[in-house]
Amino acid sequence: MSWQMCKAVNKGQETESNLAEKRTSLLTGNPLPMLIYDLETLGFQEVNESATRQYGYNCQEFLKLSLLDICLPEEIPAVLEVVRSPSASVDPEQIWTQVKKDGTHFQVTARANNITYEGRPSRFVVVEDITERRTLHDRLFRMAHHDSLTGLPNRVLLQERMAQAFATADAREHRAAIICMDLDKFKQINDWYGHGVGDECLKHVGTMLTRRLRGMDTVARTGGEEFTVVLGEVESVEAAGRVGSALLQSFGKPMDVDGHKVDLGVSMGIAVYPDHGTDMQELWRNADAAMYRAKRAGGHRFVLVAPDISTAAADSVALAEYMRSMLEERKFCLHYQLQYDLYGKIRGMEALLRLPDQHHGYVSPERFITLAEENGLIHPLGRWVIEETCRQLMQWNVPGREPLRIAVNVSPLQLMRLDFAAEVREILTQSGVNPEWLEMEITERVVLNFDIIAERMKEISAMGIRFAVDDFGTGYSSLQHLHRLPISTVKIDRSFVQRLCEPNSGSYPIVEAIISMGHSLNMQVIAEGVEDKEQMKALQRLGCDAMQGFFLSRPMVETEIEALLGIYSKVAVGY
């Protein structure tokens, strides 16, 4: 209605008295600031009460001002350009900064119409204060594009900066580089000093990297202890390597964090555009693959992308696509390795996930499980394992036969999901499995993330499912953590069992201590990797509750287990 009225005024369709009456009705009581200024002098001719409240001037003061008096000095040229325009057109998306009487600034959008006021060509302007909305927008934008802990760009903003760096490199005939970084020993820092110190370490690293690099470079946090750097305008591959070497030296001295001397190393992988490729995602994958190679080589070093690394990254993409198709077609399979107690009776078995190779044999679990955790496939894959195990339990645990228990391996990423317990409960309900038949194996590194996984483990344990700690003895688990978690079984890592009978290996007292500790906490202890009779006899003498390994049973497919289940109650293992 207000714009229609202003247009009517401009066309001179109403008398002066009617115009004055309608103008007063329009301006008075309107919540939006409204102003009329002379197009020649730019002096204000009339303002409403909302405008006086917004700008801090009273009416008499306002009428002594011009339009330029309330504009930010830097914006005056743009304002004059709009004023001199023959039309009253103002971009409704354009944001202007206005100045109050007390000097404070606020942001507005404006709409305008040319009118005739008291016989003079004038402009009627409605102003909307968008300061709060803009502040909220900026805050949300920052949250969406920056890491909440360090304030550094996140993956979303990093990809934009990466694309800009590559475009600039093309335009100026330079190079750009991607450096993927992963902090060494960071999990130990969290375990020794607590997550508060760990968070401060991450902030310290972010600040240090930002100060060491140029303004044209970007430092982003792209994972828990992962950072990615984009270098703009790099002269050569060798120059990118020199930057990597300089950054590596920055981590050479312990950091002073909250009064603690923290010693952090870093593993880096470097890919250079366009020498190592022109596709952004491909380069990123190659740099990431080079970083993992640096970590596997012992850490605290950098590795430049080489042809074999590029091939490995491409192979990972192909394997991920193959895994997705195999999961959709339900062509993954489970093999089962039996566990025996001290008296030769089958205690249960462990379900081992296998991925058939496209040509022959099976893909290494170390390879495809790690990849599944990196690309998020571990969640649907883990659900399939639990569903398939429950199907087998219902098939094998028939009335009249002593029920078997099957252990499944659970990724830490599964336990970190808030809905994991609900997902497990749903599978149990749909399958009808007795929860006591199911055991979940977690690695020792999961135990270290006590605060994250404790609640989830307690929810699942309350259903009747048991938990076992796999590979025990290789990490830094404390008795306190084990005691506070619903853990029923400890599995001694195979590396200790393999050296158990070697003279002066030091494994025997470690295994003895683990067994004693487990029993003191009312836990069962299983030895993994039993490969000969001598190891088996030594474990019997130490009172180990159960054993698992190739000497006792190799992993078997479903049909082999079913054939064995028909006779195992009549024949015991020859101890």
Q: Is the pLDDT score of 310 beyond 80?
A: no
| pLDDT (mean) for 334-348 | 91
| Listed range (3-12, 76-85, 125-134) with the worst mean pLDDT | 3-12
| Centroid of chain to Cα 120 | 62
> What token pair was written down for 297?
């080589």
Residue percentage of the chain with pLDDT more than 90: 26
* pLDDT of 15: 46
> Which range is most confident: 314-328, 337-351, 478-492?
337-351
Digit-coded pLDDT (tens) for 216-260: 888 998 888 889 999 988 888 888 888 988 888 888 778 888 777
Q: Around Cβ 496, how many Cβ atoms within 10 Å?
A: 22
Digit-coded pLDDT (tens) for 426-465: 999 999 999 999 999 988 666 655 666 788 899 999 999 9
Digit-coded pLDDT (tens) for 115-131: 888 888 888 988 888 88
Q: Around Cβ 346, how many Cβ atoms within 10 Å?
A: 21
β 226-234/218-221 pair status:
antiparallel
Looking at the DSSP bridge assignments, the partners of residue 489 are: 468, 524
Residue with tokens 């805050």: 139
d(C-alpha 158, C-alpha 170), whole Å: 18
Which has more pLDDT, 26 or 135? 135
* CATH class (in words) of the domain with range 2-134: alpha beta
| pLDDT (mean) for 133-143 | 66
d(C-alpha 520, C-alpha 514), whole Å: 10
Per the CB < 8 A criterion, the answer to whether 347 and 525 are in contact is: no
> What token pair was written down for 187?
């999990």
Domain ranges of the chain: 2-134, 146-305, 318-565
Per the CB < 8 A criterion, the answer to whether 114 and 123 are in contact is: yes
Q: Is the pLDDT score of 425 beyond 70?
A: yes
Q: What is the pTM of this model?
A: 0.51
Q: Is the pLDDT score of 205 beyond 80?
A: yes
Residue 185 vs residues 298, 452, 471: alpha-carbon distances, Å? 11, 19, 19
Residue with tokens 């690394």: 309
Judge whether 146-305 and 318-565 match in fold.
Answer: no
Polymer length in residues for the chain: 575
d(C-alpha 476, C-alpha 469), whole Å: 13
Q: Report the half-sphere exposure of 104 (CA within 13 A, side-chain side).
A: 7
Q: Around Cβ 377, how many Cβ atoms within 10 Å?
A: 17
Q: Is 390 helix (H, G, I), strand (E, B) or coil?
A: helix
Reduced to 3 DSSP states, what percent helix, strand and coil does the chain have, rounded to the nearest 5? Answer: 45, 25, 30
Digit-coded pLDDT (tens) for 540-570: 999 999 999 999 999 999 999 988 877 554 4
* pLDDT of 449: 57
Per the CB < 8 A criterion, the answer to whether 161 and 217 are in contact is: no
Which of 166, 224, 374, 175 lies closest to 289 in space, CA to CA?
374
Q: 90-107: string of b/e by CB count within 10 Å (b at 16+)?
A: beeeeebebbeeeeeebb
Start-to-end Cα distance in the chain: 97
* pLDDT of 481: 64
> At 537, is the pLDDT very low, low, confident or very high (cuts 50, 70, 90)?
very high
Digit-coded pLDDT (tens) for 260-306: 778 788 889 999 998 888 888 888 888 888 888 888 777 788 888 87
Give burial (CB, 10 Å; 0-12/13-18/19+) of 530: buried
Digit-coded pLDDT (tens) for 24-79: 445 666 788 889 999 889 999 989 988 998 899 998 899 999 999 999 888 888 88
Q: Is the pLDDT score of 22 beyond 50?
A: no
DSSP letter for each residue of 301-331: EEEE--HHHHHHHHHHHHHHHHHHHHHHTT-
Q: Is the pLDDT score of 16 beyond 50?
A: no
Q: What secondary structure letter does DSSP report for 67? A: G
Q: Which CATH number fits domain 146-305: 3.40.50.10540, 2.60.120.680, 3.30.70.270, 3.40.50.300?
A: 3.30.70.270
Q: Is 191 helix (H, G, I), strand (E, B) or coil?
A: helix
* pLDDT of 575: 43
* pLDDT of 483: 75
d(C-alpha 206, C-alpha 280), whole Å: 23
Give burial (CB, 10 Å; 0-12/13-18/19+) of 428: buried
Which has more pLDDT, 357 or 317? 357
Indicate the fold that domain 318-565 takes in CATH: TIM Barrel (3.20.20)
DSSP letter for each residue of 398-450: -TTSPPP-EEEE--HHHHTSTTHHHHHHHHHHHHT--GGGEEEEEEHHHHH-H
